Structure 1
């Protein structure tokens, strides 16, 4: 089974992060890992579903943990 590749629009539909938020995170070096299929500003960006899931898991704050 291959890991599904999602466009920023598909990430928005499934996870609620807007394409602009994703672009801001990329520019700032935050957010989930992504794939850029061609260089430059016009390059297409894709996200592996597993990268989104891993990033979300890393952002999860456990109740009663050290930091909130």
Structure 2
């Protein structure tokens, strides 16, 4: 399943995926939580209550290496 695709309320584009890859490579020394927060900040991905969608990033990562991604 390549882009575009939806996770929750967000449509991910090829540009979003490239930004996630770049961020993951650039900041590989961060903890998973810090890295997920950075990705959310870079994508401006927040819940209606204003919190970053960190758990959705974890869900994205869990599918990242499955066939078709």
- Give the TM-score normalised by structure 1: 0.31
| Larger helix share, 1 or 2 | 2
- Give the TM-score normalised by structure 2: 0.30
Greater C-alpha Rg:
1
